[in-house]
């Protein structure tokens, strides 16, 4: 289940990685995910068309599995490439947030 706090933490990471302004998310987790996904898909679409090397660099920094990225870019997955990459990136950032929460010392 999506938590709004996790989505907000992920959006902070993504805004830094993609050099975007702070992303304001709705309070509802599902709406927040859709909003984040839409913004990220648009940014990825732009990078696919105008700065592919930077997009690949960001994917490396985020630590996406190379096989998954290649699968999406090759068109083997159904759907829009930018949207599929956005899903993969958001899921990875949510995973990072969860791991940090799990292994961070209590405050």
Please state the pTM of the whole predicted model: 0.90
Question: Is 107 a domain residue?
Answer: no
Question: Is 77 a domain residue?
Answer: yes
For 14-82, the three-class secondary structure string (H helix, E strand, C coil) is HHHHCCCCCCCCCCCHHHHHHHHHHHHHHHHHHHHHHCHHHHHHHHHHHCCCHHHHHHHHCCCCCCCHH
Helices 81-103 + 66-73 axis angle, to 10: 160
pLDDT recorded at residue 107: 66
Question: Is 106 a domain residue?
Answer: no
pLDDT means per 10 residues, the chain with 107 residues, are 90 93 93 97 96 97 96 85 97 95 82
Q: Which domain holds residue 65?
A: 4-101
pLDDT recorded at residue 105: 80
How many domains does one find in the chain?
A: 1
pLDDT recorded at residue 2: 82
């Amino acid at each position: 289940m999506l938590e709004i706090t996790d989505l907000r933490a992920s959006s902070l990471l993504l805004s830094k990685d993609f050099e975007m302004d702070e992303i304001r998310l709705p309070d509802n987790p599902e709406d927040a995910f859709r909003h984040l996904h839409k913004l990220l898909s648009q940014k990825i679409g732009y990078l696919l068309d105008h700065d592919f090397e930077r997009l690949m660099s960001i994917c490396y920094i985020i630590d996406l599995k190379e096989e998954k990225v290649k699968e999406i870019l090759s068109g083997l997955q159904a759907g829009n490439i930018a949207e599929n990459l956005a899903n993969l990136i958001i899921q990875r950032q949510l995973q990072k947030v969860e791991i940090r929460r799990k292994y961070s010392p209590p405050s």
